[in-house]
Structure 1
Amino acid sequence: MIDILLSLFFFIATIAGLATSLMVLFSKKYYSKSFFLGMFLLSLAVVSIYNFYLSANMFKEFPDLFTITKSFIFLAAPCSFLYVRNILSPNNKNKKYDWVHFIPFGIYFVLTLFVYIGSFTESKVVDYVGSIIKNPFSILTLTIWLFYVFFQTMLILNYDLKKFKGNQFHRNKVINWIRVYNLMILFLFSALFVYHFLLRKIDVVDISCYFLISTVLFFTVGWLYFRPQIFQDEEETFDFVTDNTLLVKSKEIKTSLPIPHELTMEKKEDYLLKLDYVLNAQKLFLKKDFVIRDLSDETGISVHLLSNLINSEFGLHFQDYVNLKRIEYFKEKINDPEWKDLSLEGMAWASGFKSRTTCFRAFIKHTGKSPSEYFKTIRINPDRTNAYYFK
């Protein structure tokens, strides 16, 4: 029963891995960033064919040609390393030498093909080569793969996120994924090394090691299914400003709409007072689904007039204006003892934002700073001013 389940596990891993790797490899838009990731997935998927051959061969004889697929394990470590390097150092000068990483795979593939073809003869040379390459998990091979993981880890540890010019929030997500991915690869090759070092029973090692490999494949494919933007390294672009301490207006703001001529100055002042009271005193902007219709109902001002008034007086659309109020509230509460145990996501939620992403976008749009950077601020002379100054 266990053998049948194991065969089914390897079969599903093969189908899922091949489908996902081909999708990633033929993604034209993100080809440069996803090629080595696709090759990594393809290598594990092809090795899963050999896994299936090992587990199912006891029920039904399969062609020995399947043994050639085990050579693809030599693609996993270099492809993983090159994928991380391309994400963290896209302008690396050594790209022209990437082909060197695939020489071991080429050699092992030729040898396995040679042994398969030679199996139809009774050559001693073929038998000798076959005994050497019977198990790809030699101590030397696993040591080289661990060196790949070591350099991959060093790339991540030495990566300086502060030097990245772009969407820091998304980049931080990518880095977090790369760290998880690296730990997964580190666990895989370390487990293979220790297992092979302690147990020299080749048959047991094969099944156990390949089970680990297919498990890593499932993990990666599952993550790709639920979070494809992480792999593709997609990021949204925002307009950044040079003076981060000043409140700035987004370039996306359209031309201000004029206040209707029939609205007198006294009436406009009255409306502005109502607007200020409803938003600041009642803090309706803390409501997650706060819309202009809610503000209209509270103030008794028509939706059209409110939209024109906010646009004319503040140069902002309604949603931007509400988000600005939430940002001001966020800055007021950031040093509040009640917020000391809140995460960034909790602070964003407490300020009226629906999500951490929405909060981040609003901060970038209005201040040019991400919310996390406010954690590094200090208040100067709190008795005389509420201003925050960046370190």
Structure 2
Amino acid sequence: MGFLNFLTSIICFFLLLFSFNLFFAKRGNPVLNYLLGVIFFSRFGQMLVLLLVNSKQQTYFPFFHQLFTPLYFAAPACFYLYVSHFINPDKKLPYKEWLHFIPAALAIIHVIPWPFAPVINWHDILKQITDNKQLFINERSGILPAYLYSVGRPALVLGYLAATWYRVLNSEVLKAKPKADTGKKWILLFVKAATFFQLVSFLPLLSTSQDRTYANSIFVIISCLVLIVIVVFILHQPDIFYRYLITPIDGIKVADKGQERVEDTTLNTGSTKKIILLPEQSAAYAAEMEALMAAKKLYLISDFQIVDLAAEMNISVHHCSFVINNVIDKNFRDWINGYRISYFSTQYPLHAHKMTIEAIAHESGFKSLATFYNAFKKETGLMPKAYFSQKKVS
């Protein structure tokens, strides 16, 4: 039991670290940061409650169980919404998607200690968690009927899990991305890992009452070990670790007039860092960038950012941005989208009879159809169908 508590404590630490980092991150997509933060914090709550149960800390157990219950009902929706918004990024959650959190709102009402609330038998709840883990509590734990928890929560887990996999398998974005794309590696790792842990929570149902305590301990140990392996794997994948967990990246902020501003992150002065590059060096970097795009077609990676380009060339982001802005005379986003539009223009006539515009746009590196249309109009002055119709006439 001591070893099990030690493993659980390690997992709690990492989950709390990642969740708080995401909640307070000032970079990246805030919707993705908050959704993933809620998922990690909910998982932290589960592990903390499990630690309290195994440590026989009955004094604190009721408080933390009630505190995290609404998050347990929010986490499945956050899982689905995170994957959906990762595939089609959005800076805020549409109003209709807040309906996904109705079960969490009901759970908040459920756990509030109302004066008329029935007496809760915490001893039986603790015993059920020990025997069946946290997903299958048949004892009443608030003002709403017991089946809200025992039936509602497993139904939410399975329903959103199925919806998420449906979203992933039918996503043109994931189908079109190159295998080396960091975004594709991360989202597939995330979905597979989450699926494993959600399905493992149902395994206690397969064991008999006689060997359930032993089986539950094995399940918990396996879950902890797998989670540690995943954390170690991510720690050895800097592109995933820094991009999505520690320092979420959502592109370079664009200043006025569409030009990218390079901030000096080493000083707290708020001033723009002065870039000093000889004209010959700037021209050489520009030529290297063009050659890199032609050879590796990095623009087909939808998550490709200026930091990735700088890493490919082994130069600083400041120098990279300076060359694009002042030598190539474009901002990074327009420059990359120019390559994508050029690629789309060569692929569309070849595949229009069997692929939609959206599919070819995704294959060309665009994350969303709206971004593609804006970039195409900016690059050519026309919308795609008008552009290709005019080209046929000429």
TM interval, shorter chain, is 0.5 to 0.7
Structure 2 distance, partners of 1:324, 1:31, is 32
CA displacement, residues 14-34 of structure 1 (integer Å, 9 cap, x when unaligned): 222223212211224443321
Amino acid corresponding to residue 95 of structure 1 in structure 2: E
- The Cα shift of 1:51 comes to 2.3
- The Cα shift of 1:54 comes to 3.3
Q: What percent identity do the matched residue pairs reach?
A: 14
State the partner residue of 1:157.
169
For the 8 Å contact 2:207–2:215, the answer to whether it is kept is no
Structure 1 distance, partners of 2:214, 2:2, is 17
Provide the alpha-carbon RMSD of the alignment: 5.3
State the partner residue of 1:242.
none
CA displacement, residues 245-277 of structure 1 (integer Å, 9 cap, x when unaligned): xxxxxx99xxxxxxxxxxxxxxxxxxxxxxxxx
Structure 2 distance, partners of 1:129, 1:56, is 15
State the partner residue of 2:154.
142
State the partner residue of 2:61.
66
Paired positions, count = 275
State the partner residue of 1:340.
none
Q: Does the alignment pair 1:369 with 2:361? A: no
Distance 1:43 1:13, change over 3 A: same
Distance 1:157 1:233, change over 3 A: farther
Q: Does the alignment pair 1:45 with 2:48? A: no
Larger Rg: 1
Amino acid corresponding to residue 191 of structure 1 in structure 2: V
TM-score, normalised by the number of residues in structure 2: 0.52
Q: Does the alignment pair 1:56 with 2:55? A: yes
Structure number with greater CO (CA < 8 Å, separation at least 6) is 2
Structure 1 distance, partners of 2:118, 2:2, is 27
Structure 2 distance, partners of 1:118, 1:104, is 18
Amino acid corresponding to residue 159 of structure 1 in structure 2: S
Amino acid corresponding to residue 98 of structure 1 in structure 2: H
For the 8 Å contact 2:87–2:173, the answer to whether it is kept is no
Distance 1:108 1:210, change over 3 A: farther
Structure 1 distance, partners of 2:182, 2:63, is 38
TM-score, normalised by the number of residues in structure 1: 0.52
Structure 1 distance, partners of 2:195, 2:174, is 26
State the partner residue of 2:379.
none
State the partner residue of 1:184.
193
For the 8 Å contact 1:10–1:214, the answer to whether it is kept is yes
State the partner residue of 1:203.
213
- The Cα shift of 1:149 comes to 0.7
Structure 1 distance, partners of 2:335, 2:250, is 15
State which drifts further: 34-43 or 92-101: 92-101
State the partner residue of 2:143.
none
CA displacement, residues 180-225 of structure 1 (integer Å, 9 cap, x when unaligned): 1111111222232244234455534554454455456656766389
Amino acid corresponding to residue 236 of structure 1 in structure 2: G
Structure 1 distance, partners of 2:170, 2:85, is 14
Amino acid corresponding to residue 187 of structure 1 in structure 2: F
Q: Does the alignment pair 1:85 with 2:51? A: no
- The Cα shift of 1:40 comes to 1.0
Distance 1:221 1:23, change over 3 A: farther
Long gaps (5+) in structure 2: 137-149, 261-276, 302-308, 315-319, 325-331, 351-363, 365-394
State the partner residue of 1:34.
33
Residue 201 of structure 2 aligns to a residue in which SS?
helix
- The Cα shift of 1:151 comes to 0.6
For the 8 Å contact 1:39–1:79, the answer to whether it is kept is yes
Long gaps (5+) in structure 1: 120-125, 240-250, 253-302, 311-315, 335-343, 346-352, 381-389
